[in-house]
Amino acid sequence: MNANTAIPNIALNNGVDMPLLGYGVFQVEPAKAEACVANALEAGYRMIDTAQAYGNEEGVGKALASSGLAREDIFVVTKMWVSNFKGAEAAASIDASLERLGLDYVDLMLIHQPYSDYYNGYRALEQAYAEGKIRAIGVSNFSPSRLMDIAAFADVVPAVNQIETHAFWQQRPAREVMDRLGVAHMSWGPLAEGANGFFANPVLAAAGAKHGKTAAQAGLRYLVQRGVVAIPKSVRRERMEENLAIFDFELDAEDLAAIGTLDANKPLIANHEDPDFNEWFIEAISSGQW
Ligand X SMILES: NC(=O)c1ccc[n+]([C@@H]2O[C@H](COP(=O)([O-])OP(=O)(O)OC[C@H]3O[C@@H](n4cnc5c(N)ncnc54)[C@H](OP(=O)(O)O)[C@@H]3O)[C@@H](O)[C@H]2O)c1
Residues annotated as catalytic are: 54
Count the helix, strand and coil residues of the chain and give each as a percent rounded to the nearest 5. Answer: 50, 15, 40
In one-letter notation, the amino acid at residue 232 is P
Give the torsion through C-alpha atoms of 231, 216, 199, 54, to 10 deg: -10
Does 272 bind ligand X (CB under 6 A)? Our answer is no
Closest CA to 133 of 99, 105, 92: 105
Considering only CA atoms, which of 219, 213, 170 is closest in space to residue 198?
A: 219
**Interaction residues for ligand X, span 138-157 (CB under 6 A):** 140-141
Which residues inside 50-89 make contact with ligand X, applying CB under 6 A?
none
231 binds ligand X (CB under 6 A): yes
Long-range contacts, 280-289 (Cβ 8 Å, 24+): 281/113, 281/115, 282/115, 285/82, 285/83, 285/113, 285/115, 285/116, 288/83
Which of 123, 146, 239, 272: binder of ligand X (CB under 6 A)?
A: 239
Stretch that binds ligand X, among 2-10, 120-128, 148-156, 185-193 (CB under 6 A): 185-193
Among 98, 101, 151, 192, binds ligand X (CB under 6 A): 192
**What's the closest the beta carbon of residue 69 comes to ligand X, in angstroms?**
19
Q: Under the criterion CB under 6 A, does residue 256 sit at the interface with ligand X?
A: no
Which residue of 18, 20, 24, 177 would you call a contact of ligand X, by CB under 6 A?
24
| Residue 161 makes contact with ligand X by CB under 6 A | no
44 binds ligand X (CB under 6 A): no
Residue 148 and residue 142: Cα distance in Å, rounded?
Answer: 9
Q: How far is the CB of 54 from ligand X (least distance, A)?
A: 7
Interface residues with ligand X (CB under 6 A) are: 24-26, 49, 112, 140-141, 162, 188-194, 199, 216, 231-236, 239, 242-243
